[in-house]
Amino acid sequence: MSKVIKGIKLRLYPNQSQREQLWQMFGNDRFVWNQMLGMAKERYRNNPNSLFVNEYGMNYLLKQLKREYAFLRESDSTSFLVVNHNLAQAFKMLFRHRGG
């Protein structure tokens, strides 16, 4: 039995307003990544024996970040969930010594 994998290529042509929204979202995603990473590093620095904050814990912290930084409310929250998922996966791979 063979698997058939199909793919679709598409190209988007966003207008100026959409481009600005995309750049804002990408910047906010980068900001959330850096904030979550900074919190994890600070937590480890304060107590090396503390447990890693998992993906659900990071998702819970998003509410506080949105209260503290109003500009984060302009982005789609789903993109922040993806950022937290990717960061949690990166930490899992790091702790399993499979990261680069």
3-state secondary structure of 53: coil
What tokens were used for 80? Answer: 């922040």
* 77-95 vs 16-46: helix crossing angle, rounded to 10: 40
Flag the least confident range among 20-29, 39-48, 64-73.
39-48
List, for residues 67-90, the tens digit of each pLDDT value. Answer: 999 999 999 899 999 999 999 998
Q: Which whole-number Å values give the CA distances from 40 to 3, 9, 22, 57, 70, in the listed order?
A: 41, 37, 27, 11, 22
Distance CA 28, CA 76 (A): 10
**11 DSSP 8-state letter:** -
Report pTM: 0.81
